[in-house]
Structure 1
Amino acid sequence: MTKMEFWELMEIFRNKSDGDNEVFLQSAQEYLSGCNAEEIYYFGGYLGAYMESVNECIWIDMACKVINGYVSDDTGLYFALWLISQGEKVLLEALTNPDSLANLPYIPFGNAEFEMLMSVTFEMIGEDMDIEKVHSIQIKCLEIIAPDIQYKNNDKYGNYECFEDGMEDIPNILPNLIKRADSENFDWKNLYEF
């Protein structure tokens, strides 16, 4: 499976799901059930590589705070999976300009997470999964996607003293996303503490 094929599949699953994570997951499982183990490993490899690229990115954590009202290690990861499910263009643009997420046609404020997507590869291969092979393929996929991954200000973590300083800067970084949350009556600031 190539990077292009991975994204084509994500688009097919997304179009079938109409924003419903369960339908998306079911579409992915149905498709992958007809694939050989190597293709499933590569699907999981690309998914893992993109998760790694997004994980702990301050810009994506900021967007998670505005869209979900909170961010933690787990919720940040689940938000990253939701973001990946939105497609290549949305994901890559969000890494360089997280405020671009304000332009999405539909944002499930308070619930933009997709934890179950993480387990689809294991479910398809089962207990025979070769963890060393998973790791090896994910490293290959990271190398393949590396040229595409660019971050705002060329810095995944921002130039902040600490995470909390980044969260304090949200109004300067995400003005349009904040307007969008406000327009949908989502109180991102007071839902949970970061």
Structure 2
Amino acid sequence: MGNDITEINKDTFWKFIEEAKGQCGKDMDAMFSWLNGRLLGMHPEQALKFHTIIHGYQEAAYKYGLWIAASLMKEDGYSDDRFVDFRAWLIVQGKAVYMAALENPDSLAEVEQYGDCEFEILTYVGSYAYTELTGRTAYRVCTAEMREQVLAEISGEIKYHPMIEYPLEIQDVVDVYPKLGNRFVKRYGIQCFLNGSMWNTSLPGMKELVEKGADEVHKLRMKQEKSKMNKKQPGSQRRSNN
């Protein structure tokens, strides 16, 4: 399949990833070499497109809900740099897993963890190939307009979880992402509720965003409670009429 691809776009990109995973399995060094080798056999423009598209998918996944999921999957959490590497690892899991994670980060509870859930060098494979082919760096050639166009194209097929934009605290994570949240609680017990905020609320705007997320979770709980009451009411009414 990989040898049949002559042009990289958002569809053939995922076919490339699928073929690499099929050839290399969980060996990420081998996967990097496989992808790099295929790109070196193509026109430099295709290596540049691969670079732009993979960064577009990483940018599209830069969401607090996914950061929460990544942190709960790992005992030591994620810094900003390591979250970049996590998103590269997520991409390698394939389109279905990637899209499912953005629609509901809790789906990652069912995904096998390996390679420390990080794939740093994948981020650079397109750039490495482009540099070897042209002597120039993709990071300088790729313009803001190119990045924005790719992001717009790939974002059109992504369905986001309604709470994915918010940095939630653990007591709210348990409600919104229950599989991952309960795994975290099981690991640390009640102590995880006593350790303060998961977030650096001294950062500009972070405290307000955390509070906004808490408000949205409260609204979600109220909506769920109302739905439960409405479901119970018809049965209660029938019993009172008998």
TM-score (norm 2): 0.66
Give ranges in structure 1 of 5+ residues lacking alignment. Answer: none
C-alpha distance in structure 1 between counterparts of 2:154 and 2:18, whole Å: 17
Structure 1 residue 151: Cα displacement = 1.5
C-alpha contact (below 8 Å) 1:44/1:138 kept by paired residues: no
Cα pair distance change 1:23/1:59, threshold 3 Å: same
Output one character per residue of 1:131-150: Cα deviation in whole Å (capped at 9) or x when no partner.
Answer: 45412432221121121122
Does 2:129 align with 1:139? no
Give the secondary-structure state (helix, strand or coil) at the position aligned to 1:16: helix
C-alpha distance in structure 1 between counterparts of 2:36 and 2:85, whole Å: 19
Structure 1 residue 24: Cα displacement = 1.3
Does 2:72 align with 1:66? yes
Structure 1 residue 46: Cα displacement = 0.7
% identical equivalent positions: 24
Structure 1 residue 23: Cα displacement = 1.5
Structure 1 runs of 4+ with >2 Å offset: 129-133, 135-140, 165-183
C-alpha distance in structure 2 between counterparts of 1:180 and 1:29, whole Å: 37
C-alpha distance in structure 2 between counterparts of 1:21 and 1:91, whole Å: 17
Match runs of 1:51-90 below 5 Å: 51-55=58-62, 57-69=63-75, 70-90=77-97
The structure with higher relative contact order (CA 8 Å, sep 6+) is 1
The AA in structure 2 aligned to 1:102 is A
Give ranges in structure 2 of 5+ residues lacking alignment. Answer: 1-7, 199-242
Give the secondary-structure state (helix, strand or coil) at the position aligned to 1:148: coil
The structure with the larger Rg is 2
Cα pair distance change 1:173/1:108, threshold 3 Å: farther
The AA in structure 2 aligned to 1:33 is L
Structure 1 residue 95: Cα displacement = 0.7
